[in-house]
Amino acid sequence: MEIFDTHAHFGQDGAETAAVLARAAAAGVTHLVAVGGSEELNAAAIQAQDTRPDAVRLAIGADRDQAILPADEVMSEIRRLHASRRCAAVGEIGLDFHYTPETSSEQCSLFAAQLALADELGLPVVIHTREADDATCGVLDEVPWHGDGLRGVIHCYTGAPAFARQLLDRGFMVSFSGIVTFRSAEEVRASAKYVPDDRLLVETDSPYLAPVPMRGKKNEPAFVVHTVRFLAELRQAREEALASLTFANAVAMFG
């Protein structure tokens, strides 16, 4: 059984990254996306790919927290990194109005600029959205798309089925993290049952959000096996079948 963790963050310690990747491989997590979002996260994701280029796909981007920085400088650096590396996606990008609603305008501008960059590069996007449903859809609908059009994933989905429907209608895949295993996450579980097989992805969002039964531990890609097992039971599917279909979806998206 092969599993594809579509969203993992890494730290700066190269030895720790190598150990995390080795444990992932031992657990059957044969592929993953190392995701950036800031100067530090982008550098760490690159290091992860250099450690296991056969297994690690790379996503480089500027997340909502970077909206406080000069936009021209941020976009120049993201362009430079994409020019220097073989990337599978632009990300993570998006909106989060929970902690910093005061930067909502700047977040939307940075989000839109990176959507346009993804279109230019012909890459999918990895999107974070929290308490910004309407704004997320608004930016997606306002950015002109060419070529093959809009594609990507809404990562670590925490919303209701109704919002998932809006995202599915716009062509996105939806990824679920260990949050789906949390006792209080009834709405997330409803969404996880709603998303069709050909749009479903799994992730850790490590080092955060370790799934049950690993709650309280630092999350890592090896733990995504627990999310796969939980989702299979939730969707009344065999674990191997759930792993296989999410793996195929991830390969279709990220290569």
Q: What is the mean pLDDT of the chain?
A: 97
Pick the range with the lowest mean pLDDT from 81-85, 98-102, 154-158, 218-222: 98-102
Q: Which residues 6+ apart lie within 8 Å of 197 measured at CB?
A: 245
Polymer length of the chain? 255
224-234 and 239-254 helices cross at what angle (nearest 10)?
A: 120
Kindly report whether the global pTM for this prediction surpasses the value 0.95: yes
pLDDT tens, position by position, 170-206: 999 999 999 999 999 999 999 999 999 999 999 999 9
The strands making up 200-202's β-sheet, listed across from edge to edge, are 3-8, 29-37, 56-62, 89-96, 125-130, 152-154, 173-176, 200-202
Per the listing, tokens 């996105």 go with 172
Give pLDDT tens digits for 112-147.
999 999 999 999 999 999 999 999 999 999 988 876
pLDDT at 147: 67
Structure tokens at 157: 């989905």
Whole-angstrom distance, CA of residue 129 vs CA of residue 175 = 12
Query: What domains lie within the chain, and their CATH numbers?
Result: 3-254 (3.20.20.140)
Percent of the chain with pLDDT over 70: 99
Please state, in angstroms and as integers, the Cα–Cα distance from residue 193 to each residue in 92, 107, 185, 232, 233, following that order.
Answer: 25, 31, 13, 10, 10
Q: Say whether 171 sits in a helix, a strand or coil.
A: coil
